[in-house]
Amino acid sequence: MALESMNPATEELIETYEEWSAEETAGVIDKVDDAFRSWRETSFAERSALMKKAAQVLRDNKNEYGRIMAQEMGKPVNDGRAETEKCALVCDYYADNAEEFLRDEMIESDASRSYVGFRPIGTVLAVMPWNFPFWQVFRFAAPALMAGNTGVLKHSSNVPRCALAIEDVFVKAGFPENVFRTLMIGSSKVDGVIENDKIKAVTLTGSDAAGRKVAAKAGQMLKKSVLELGGSDPFVILEDADVDESAAVGAKARCINSGQSCIAAKRFIVVEAVYDKWLESFKRNVAGLKMGDPLDEGSQVGPQARRDLMEELHGQVEKSIEKGAKAILGGKPQEGRGCYYPPTILVDVQPGMPAYHEELFGPVASVIKVKDAEEALQVANDSPFGLGGAVWTRDSARGEAFAARVEAGAVFVNGLVKSDPRLPFGGVKISGYGRELSHYGIKEFVNIQTIWVK
């Protein structure tokens, strides 16, 4: 099998990479395990200095990395540069805070001295997706390496150039050889990697279907796993919301990364008192987004990452329309070359439709009219997913109380849901378990060790 780098804007093959054999893969894992023996003994100061250099490498090369993302998975180049900057930010964050986060915690007990220490566990496997091909990796790698672990990356098969560029960031920064490596393998070889005794834990960001497979194998091997899976985030507009601001932010929240984001707003739940006014403003904002070549500085929406993904999205739209939904904007793939799906708004969305129950991974907004705030909450929670959510109201205390009742890992009041190195990130229900980022994230892959001394 070959790993293919394909430009979704032109559907032209950029480069082909031969997949590694099981023997080649195991050999690299052996080297990474060997590197762990010395890496774990380095001081936080040594790790921090190298992680700061990685942040600088990212900033120095953000134009190159933004271009690679644009060519390989269709991200508008401005967004790719911003993603690279965010990766540098998370490197700096853990370089500055890891030592404090993992400081021994003194606990009073029947001992003369007792405390909890946080020790590295070894090599962690990261199975990562294509949609934020740099950010998803660095939000794992920065805390894992700062904790004294080593890492191996199995990236999505359609972004091999991104995967190799990420490995090269750590090389350029001067990290010891084999502390972080990219495995050039497809999905069929993941089980074998998890089975390898030298892999101590696994983290995955992806679909709930992929999460179930990885969790099952990790469970069978008694290895810790963290899963960040899909989302169908509610974006709730109460009757006292700022209509124009929420509509403008909602358009961005739905179409960011060409709609290919787990925490993109997907279900717009609007109280009927402001429904018509809000929908008019929302449609105007969505229609104003510029779709085009991701290498064009002015493009705000690029192509979908692959043709099969675009076709799957369109199938969900068609099935929803067959069941009674209406497309008041978009609704069909753009004709011609490239995997472009125009920003789309579906109204009259009801239970039983894909647009109501499923994750639509593209720039398609499902708009649902409700009677009042209580019905809005009921609809918001009427989903198997629980990653993020947003609520809009001029009464921030009311919004905060509403947010606390939403079944999601993160809820934003009067704002666009986003990840931030300072705040924990993750979901509930079939959106996964465990947390990334903040001090919670760095403690997912450590041995929380009790020391008792008499």
Residues belonging to the active site:
228, 262
Sign of the dihedral defined by the CA atoms of residues 180, 185, 191, 196, in that order: negative
C-alpha gyration radius of the chain: 22
Structural contact between residues 48 and 95, judged by C-beta atoms closer than 8 angstroms? yes
